[in-house]
């Protein structure tokens, strides 16, 4: 765990893919793209929400896995495949949306998971805000019908410093990110599977807003394309610096975006424009 004075510039990657109901195909794509990112020098790879499966709930219930309380204990086949990838590549993985089982067999958690380069579980965050909407294009999504909400903010440590964890719909709730900054975060991750409709309208502007108001890097790996049925994801995985500038973007298709997270840049922005210090409780 790096101390503030030990944090260092770190090359990271956002991974963009189009997950479907085919778990093995999805994981093969993740493996290919993480290897590509590491070949380009990334030492941390960020994977989108629902990276292993995006499809009907009745199928998802068959691939749920528990996460061991002992961070180094053996888990299910999806977890172990991801751990093997982290070890083989010597790369930390932030798995954006792991389908974690619960005590209720009909319900699961949408969990952001940090695996270290040795494959150990270093942090787990259960998505707090669940996506229940009816869109004008006819899309109806009721995440809460099969997903339990988390209730705890989570940060984790990487070579660049403290990372605040979130998942997708959390993006619409600025107080969550401000609280993560209060806990020391200099970077925030928003792994997502934004719909094509909401993504086109809000994705870039909200991510840039979170970066600007929190004066933090925002790292947002995303799903793209036709996942299944009527489900289409927006894509445009992004890395944004603490001034709100986009420094990496994947537009269409599978791919990786690479950028450097520099803790000194955060300190500079926060010193030049000390808005975080000017916040008031009203």
Query: What is the SS3 assignment for 209?
Result: helix
Query: Rounded to whole angstroms, how far apart are CA atoms 177 and 12?
Result: 20
Query: For tokens 């960020």, what's the residue?
Result: 46
Output b/e per residue, 41-71; b: 16+ Cβ within 10 A: ebbbbbbbbbbbbbbeeeebeebbbebeeee
Determine contact, residues 151/144, Cβ cutoff 8 Å.
no
For residue 122, how many C-alpha atoms fall within 13 Å in the half-sphere facing its CB?
Answer: 21
168 is catalytic: yes
Of 18, 38, 49, 82, the catalytic one is 49
Asked if residues 35 and 89 have their Cβ atoms less than 8 Å apart, the reply is: yes
Q: Which of 38, 112, 168, 250 is an active site residue?
A: 168
Structural contact between residues 250 and 190, judged by C-beta atoms closer than 8 angstroms: no
Q: How many CA atoms lie within 13 Å of 271's alpha carbon, on the beta-carbon side?
A: 6
Does the annotation mark 49 as catalytic? Answer: yes
Catalytic residue among 18, 82, 127, 249: 127
* Residues with catalytic function: 49, 127, 168
């Amino acid at each position: 765990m790096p101390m503030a004075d030990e944090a260092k510039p770190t090359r990271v990657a956002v991974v963009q893919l189009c997950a479907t109901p085919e778990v093995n195909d999805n994981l093969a794509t993740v493996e290919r793209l993480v290897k590509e990112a590491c070949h380009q020098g990334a030492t941390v790879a960020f994977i989108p929400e629902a990276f292993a499966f995006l499809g009907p709930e009745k199928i998802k219930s068959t691939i749920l896995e528990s996460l061991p309380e002992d961070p180094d204990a053996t888990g299910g086949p999806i977890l172990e495949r991801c751990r093997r990838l982290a070890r083989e590549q010597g790369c930390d993985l932030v798995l954006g949306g792991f389908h974690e089982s619960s005590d209720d067999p009909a319900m699961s958690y949408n969990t952001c998971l940090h695996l270290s380069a040795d494959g150990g579980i270093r942090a787990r965050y259960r998505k707090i805000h669940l996506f229940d909407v009816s869109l004008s294009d006819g899309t109806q999504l009721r995440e809460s019908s099969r997903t339990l909400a988390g209730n705890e903010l989570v940060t984790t440590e990487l070579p660049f410093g403290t990372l605040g964890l979130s998942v997708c719909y959390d993006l619409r709730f600025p107080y969550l990110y401000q609280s993560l900054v209060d806990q020391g975060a200099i970077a925030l991750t928003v792994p997502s599977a934004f719909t094509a409709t909401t993504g086109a309208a809000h994705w870039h502007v909200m991510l840039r807003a979170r970066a600007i108001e929190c004066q933090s890097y925002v790292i947002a790996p995303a799903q793209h394309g036709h996942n299944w049925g009527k489900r289409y994801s927006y894509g445009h995985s992004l890395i944004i610096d603490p001034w709100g500038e986009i420094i990496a973007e994947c537009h269409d298709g599978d791919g990786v975006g690479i950028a450097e997270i520099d803790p000194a840049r955060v300190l500079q922005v926060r010193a030049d424009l000390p808005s975080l210090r000017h916040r008031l409780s009203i």
